[in-house]
Amino acid sequence: MKFFSKLVFICNLCFVSGILFRYVDVSASAGGGEVARVQAFLGVILVLYFLSVFLNLLFVIITLFHFFIKKKSLAPQWLTAVNIVFLPLQLVYFFLS
């Protein structure tokens, strides 16, 4: 559960980065051979951006399951709280934008 919570947190950071990249023109700022590297990086960020909602939803469901069966989660509490806070933000952003 520790690894999964960290993976979800990284995906949540990619979610924030993906939102920021929607408003920044990267191709105009990079020149020459750097454009291909930037585009590859953006591709990875965008895949994790879309995957973040599904992984975060799965994480919250597993966390709620552990809570209801009164099993202590192995993930740090701050990380669990941050991931849970991100889920409503992601759902609102995806369904209202």
In the chain, % helix, strand, coil (3-state, to 5) comes to: 80, 0, 20
The reported pTM is: 0.82
pLDDT score recorded for residue 33 = 58
Domain boundaries, the chain: 2-96
Give the pLDDT band of residue 87 (cuts 50, 70, 90): very high
pLDDT score recorded for residue 74 = 82
List, in sequence order, the alpha helices (H) in 22-76: 26-29, 34-68
Q: pLDDT (tens digit, 9 = 90+) per residue, 64-84?
A: 999 999 888 788 899 999 999
